[in-house]
Structure 1
Amino acid sequence: MRFHSLRHLLLAFVAVLALAACHNKDKDQQEAAKPGGDTPEAAIQQSIDLIKANDFAGFWKHALPPAEYATLRADWTRPKPEQQPITDEDRAKFAENLRQFTEVDAETKLYAQFKPKLAQMQLQYKDQLPIMIGIVQQIAKTGIDQDKQMGDTQKQQARDVLGVLAPWAQQVPWFDQDKAKQAVGTVVTTARKLGLKSADDTRKLDFDSAMQKYAIGFTGVKQLLGIYGLSVDDSLNSAKVTPMESKDGHARVKIDYTLLGKPLSTEYALVQQDGRWYSEDMLRHVHEAHARLLAPAPSASTPAPAASAAIATKM
């Protein structure tokens, strides 16, 4: 009798745990479906989780208020003012590259072409590569310092990331034949999964189709970097979000993470709208991009700013 009572008690306990787990899972799924976060740290953590899951469509739906998300989707297929038209030469180059990376036995054919070039590059650049990467690092640092859109904190965070990536790049066995073969295989597999048919296809993708392609591309990039020792997933999994301050509908959070085993951190500013929290940078970028799309094109009779200044100087 006692045994049956104990067994029933254990079964009841397990049932309660199962129900609680289902409830928490349902609650998490409901929260993930909502735009923004109920707290600043929840908003950022959910964004990280969606990136980890390669869910870019879900990321944007979460990261933006409903109105801005609708704007992003509507603007996606609008002609971009800065976008140059695709030429016949562009189409031909794209078609040839696509053929090489998607044809039957592309991995073997491409690697056969790449292998002797890799050996030649190793002879020419093996000793010079660390110096060349160091020069690129200095150029990148200068670019960061001169960037007027970045604040002091953002600039320091960018320098910290550069300070980890540059030494890694200097030590990576870029000329290793086995790794190169794996890399070619990854690129070929990714190209096939993307399923693009022509250069014009890249301009015609609607928002949902583009997000699917982004997910495939992001997976390929992660695999490619992983071959050479950089795990994006490890960095994403290491992220820990901590609240810093919150006042009058504005907040800041800190994200601590590791990159190649090195501890780093970054900060995000968030703003509250309709009781939910969103990244200030995300909102600003969407608004600015939308404004550029709607801005009237300069007429032929209106001199460009530089031309106007030159005319004024001569007068």
Structure 2
Amino acid sequence: MRLPFVRHALLPLFAALVLSACHGKDQASQPGGSTPEAALRGSVDLLKAGDFTGLWKHALPPADYANMRADWGRHQHDQPPITAEDRAKFDETLQKLTEPGAENKLYAELQPKLTTMEQQYKDQLPVLVSVGEALVKNGVAQSKTLSEAQKAQANGVLDVLAPWAQQTPWFDRAKAKQAVAVAVATARKLDLKNPEQLRSMSFDDTMGRYATGYAGLKQLLAIYGLSVDDTLNSVKLTPVSSSGGHAVVKIDYTLLGKPLSTESKLVQQDGRWYSEDMLDSARKAHQQSGQPAGGASVSASADAVAKQD
């Protein structure tokens, strides 16, 4: 992702927004929630639906959402030029994934590679996964964008995912064939023509492509036994405290059948509740973009977004 906030928010988004509740009647399209539980419930509903435009609009106050959209547009136009090598790699990959009969051609190419990889790495896979887990955990520990609670949550998730990755039959031919079919179908749905298209897409168009990629990713993970929807559906939350415009909610959920829990801090803005970590990340990213944090420009941007909707 090109916008730093969007990239760094993915882990907190999973940790703080993988939630649901039986109460809270707010519409998910509204910014924030009338209660902390309603705010989180709306975010999870949008995440389950793959509505990323709606998710960001719901997760941020109107002015902050407008700033994020404006910053996104500036970052889109501030990328280095596309080289001939970049274009050639893009075209080659796109052709392989979308040409007629791509599923059969790609699987035919993959079969001998699977045999080779199985012979070379099957016995080493548990060690390789352990090394990878250690590297990721070190990265989490060194992160300056994650809170201590988010780091603890990330480590808990990794403790569940690592055994799964060690035991998953990655070299299974039938599963590989299904995965290739999903990858090809997803690439066709993305409907990308050239690298320039990626640079010229609006925020809404980009979020729409993310939704398509997200749906494909969920299918791929499900093939290998990890259901994102099962995790989202398993969440239960319990209010812990609420005072002075700040609230804490305890989150319990299961990942691959293993129980996990964390806490989410929320803050009230203009009578609506938002994730405190999400809001802080959005505002820091906006400040780093060199744009003013408030004033008439923010109000004007918010008004412009409101007119679009």
TM class, shorter-length: 0.7 to 0.9
SS of 2:193's equivalent in the other structure is coil
- Aligned equivalents of 2:214, 2:141: Cα separation in 1: 28
- Aligned equivalents of 1:283, 1:113: Cα separation in 2: 46
Match of 1:89 in 2: 85
1:33-86 deviation per Cα after TM superposition (whole angstroms, max 9, x unaligned): 321000111101110111011111111111111111111222222136984432
Tell me by how many angstroms 1:166 deviates.
0.2
The answer (yes or no) to whether the contact 2:160–2:256 under 8 Å persists in 1 is yes
1:250 to 240, 246, 251: 246
Match of 2:295 in 1: none
* TM-score normalized with structure 1 length: 0.81
- Aligned equivalents of 1:193, 1:67: Cα separation in 2: 32
Greater alpha carbon shift after TM alignment, 252-261 vs 83-92: 83-92
1:103-151 deviation per Cα after TM superposition (whole angstroms, max 9, x unaligned): 0010000111111011111011110111111111122222223334433
The answer (yes or no) to whether the contact 1:183–1:224 under 8 Å persists in 2 is yes
1:170-220 deviation per Cα after TM superposition (whole angstroms, max 9, x unaligned): 000000000000000000000000001111211211111111111100000
Q: Taking every aligned residue pair, what percent have the same amino acid on both sides?
A: 60
Return the letter of the residue paired with 1:127.
Answer: D
Match of 2:300 in 1: none
Matched, 1:276 2:266: no
The answer (yes or no) to whether the contact 2:87–2:194 under 8 Å persists in 1 is yes
Match of 1:163 in 2: 159
Greater alpha carbon shift after TM alignment, 286-295 vs 245-254: 286-295
Tell me by how many angstroms 1:295 deviates.
6.3
Matched, 1:176 2:165: no
The answer (yes or no) to whether the contact 1:81–1:293 under 8 Å persists in 2 is no
Return the letter of the residue paired with 1:130.
Answer: P
SS of 1:242's equivalent in the other structure is strand
* TM-score normalized with structure 2 length: 0.83
Return the letter of the residue paired with 1:260.
Answer: L
Matched, 1:233 2:229: yes
Match of 1:206 in 2: 202
SS of 1:277's equivalent in the other structure is strand
- Aligned equivalents of 1:198, 1:264: Cα separation in 2: 42
Q: How does 1:1-315 map to 2 (within 5 A)?
A: 28=25, 31-79=27-75, 83-294=79-290
The answer (yes or no) to whether the contact 1:45–1:241 under 8 Å persists in 2 is no
Structure 2: give runs of 5+ residues left out of the alignment.
1-23, 293-309
- Aligned equivalents of 2:234, 2:78: Cα separation in 1: 38
**CA 290–153 in structure 1, closer or farther in 2 if over 3 Å, else same:** closer
Return the letter of the residue paired with 2:188.
Answer: R
SS of 1:197's equivalent in the other structure is coil
**CA 209–59 in structure 1, closer or farther in 2 if over 3 Å, else same:** same
The answer (yes or no) to whether the contact 2:107–2:180 under 8 Å persists in 1 is yes
Match of 1:17 in 2: none
SS of 2:28's equivalent in the other structure is helix
Tell me by how many angstroms 1:292 deviates.
2.4
Tell me by how many angstroms 1:222 deviates.
0.2
| Deviation >6 Å, runs of 4+ | none
- Aligned equivalents of 2:78, 2:125: Cα separation in 1: 35
Tell which structure's C-alpha radius of gyration is larger. Answer: 1
- Aligned equivalents of 2:61, 2:205: Cα separation in 1: 21
- Aligned equivalents of 1:146, 1:61: Cα separation in 2: 30
CA RMSD of aligned residues (A): 1.9
**CA 81–271 in structure 1, closer or farther in 2 if over 3 Å, else same:** farther
Match of 1:301 in 2: none
Return the letter of the residue paired with 1:181.
Answer: K
Match of 1:15 in 2: none
The answer (yes or no) to whether the contact 2:240–2:249 under 8 Å persists in 1 is yes
